[in-house]
Amino acid sequence: MPELLDLLSSSLHRGSTVFVTGGGSGINLGIAETFARTGAKVAICGRTEDKLVAATARLRDLGADALYAVADVRDHDALTAALALTESRFGPVSAVIAGAAGNFNAPAEKISANGFKTVIDIDLLGSFNTAHAAFAQLAETSGSILFVSAGQAYCPTPNQAHAGAAKAGIENLMKNLALEWGQYGIRVNTVVPGPIAGTEGVERLSAEVGAEQWRQAVPLGRFGTTADIGVMAAILASPLGGYVTGSQIVVDGGFGLAGFGM
């Protein structure tokens, strides 16, 4: 594991429960691992059981109590069931990571109505469903939600009309929920990752120009790691982030400064 994770206390989230959508791979698994390393009980959900089984084994290897549930974030009932299972096994969630996303590269005129709707449904509706289904547990724990956003929310990006619209919607949803749910002690933020090495997002979206061109566009000169995002998520969900709500936390090595979305 990267040394970065050794800088976080292994007891930062001891006794708490985190629920991560899309936790079977990529950035979301990296976030789940960071919570596992900091003492949390970790529940992950996703659509592909094979990935969830492998990810859960990895989380257990890190010493965490971990479980998975097969759930598509477009299905509110499935999320409700996954969260009920989590509460029954690990107690109410105090951190929710809404990271499940879907994407493909296509010029706007080539995206079918169903293709556009599919990405909106996974990213935006799925984020709402996750927060909505978790509300009662989060109100009980005075917990927090972190939505995983993207640079496309701010920066129009060729071939990304669907994802840009969805992520911009997530940013607005985040602020609205932060405004409405502060009275319940619930904090709501987004993290905006830059290009993260080894993820499906970078592989898919940099395919046309090549990953090396993306790397050169990062002012810090390197791709991020899932640990870069994981530590930020772990801090935000902890008392260290206790006065942060309604915020967009950009963790992109400066990638967005030169007008790059993703």
Contacting residues toward ligand HXC, per CB under 6 A:
101-104, 106, 112, 114-115, 118-119, 150, 163, 200-201, 204-205, 262
Closest-by-Cβ residue to ligand HXC is 102
- Would you say 10 and 39 are in contact if contact means Cβ atoms under 8 Å apart? yes
Indicate the length of the chain as a whole number: 262
| Nearest C-alpha neighbor of 103 from the set 31, 194, 198, 202 | 202
Q: Which of 16, 25, 127, 149 is catalytic?
A: 149
State which residue, 88 or 114, has the beta carbon closest to ligand HXC: 114
State which residue, 108 or 240, has the beta carbon closest to ligand HXC: 108
Residues with Cβ within 8 Å of residue 50, at least 6 apart in sequence: none
Query: Rounded to the nearest whole angstrom, what is the least distance from the CB of residue 2 to ligand HXC in the complex?
Result: 20
Cβ-based burial of 152 (10 A; exposed 0-12, middle 13-18, buried ≥19)? buried
State which residue, 61 or 208, has the beta carbon closest to ligand HXC: 208
Look up 117 and say whether it is catalytic.
no
Query: Rounded to the nearest whole angstrom, what is the least distance from the CB of residue 139 to ligand HXC in the complex?
Result: 29
Query: Rounded to the nearest whole angstrom, what is the least distance from the CB of residue 104 to ligand HXC in the complex?
Result: 3
Q: Which of 25, 41, 94, 167 is catalytic?
A: 167
Look up 167 and say whether it is catalytic.
yes
Q: From residue 221, how far is each of 27, 58, 212, 216, 256 by CA, in Å?
A: 19, 30, 10, 6, 13
